Amino acid sequence: HAAMADFLGAASAEEIIIGANMTTLTYHMSRTLGRAMKPGDEIIVTRMDHEGNVSPWLQLAEDLGLVVRFLPFDEKSWQVEEAALSALLSEKTRLVALNYASNLTGSINRVKALTAVAKQAGALVYVDAV
Ligand SMILES: Cc1ncc(COP(=O)(O)O)c(C=O)c1O
């Protein structure tokens, strides 16, 4: 956690990065953020995200020896629920990759509330808002 805080402290609060497409940018972001992660750290990806917000994180996990937790969506609300996220978070969670609007289900997730839950556990949140 301390290493990650130092690493991120170097970046300014608001920056816009232009790139080829969401998937390519996410590959770049995953490799950049991965520099502050170590074997045994945990990341969370959802079961409703586009591949562009899953594969980069899975490949990072494979390369670094991270533990991947899969966050399901609720089959009634068709949304990712805060309680489901809470159940997967631990003190080892470094990042949660979420989607805002799902191309799979058409759902819109409550990313603000989900982000608050993840941040309380000390995790970063990466939102695909395509
Ligand atoms: C929700 C969502 N996320 C990510 C992507 C991937 O975007 P890109 O083609 O810019 O990599 C898509 C593509 O349709 C998408 O619908």
Within-domain flag for 121? yes
How far, rounded to the nearest angstrom, does the alpha carbon of residue 88 sit from its chain's CA centroid? 13
Does ligand 1 come within 6 angstroms of the Cβ of 99? yes
Look-up: residue for tokens 């020896």? 65
- Residue whose C-alpha is closest to residue 71's, from 94, 102, 46: 46
Q: How many domains does the chain have?
A: 1
What's the domain range around 36? 2-12+24-128
Q: Which of 18, 21, 22 to mutate to test the pocket of ligand 1 (most atoms within 8 A of CB)?
A: 22
Does ligand 1 come within 6 angstroms of the Cβ of 103? yes
Within-domain flag for 56? yes
Does ligand 1 come within 6 angstroms of the Cβ of 105? no
Within-domain flag for 71? yes
Instruction: Read off the pLDDT of residues 29-88 as tens digits, 9 standing for 90 and up.
Output: 999 999 999 999 999 999 999 999 999 999 999 999 999 999 999 999 999 999 999 999
Look-up: residue for tokens 């631990």? 90
Long-range CB pairs of 82-89, under 8 A, 24+ apart, other chains included? 82/110, 82/113, 82/114, 82/117, 85/44, 85/114, 85/117, 85/118, 86/117, 88/44, 89/44, 89/117, 89/118, 89/121, 89/123
CATH number at residue 92: 3.40.640.10
Within-domain flag for 92? yes
Instruction: Read off the pLDDT of residues 84-128 as tens digits, 9 standing for 90 and up.
Output: 999 999 999 999 999 999 998 899 999 999 999 999 999 999 999
Within-domain flag for 44? yes
Biggest distance spanned by C-alpha atoms of the chain: 42
DSSP H or E segment with residue 125: strand 124-128
Does ligand 1 come within 6 angstroms of the Cβ of 79? no
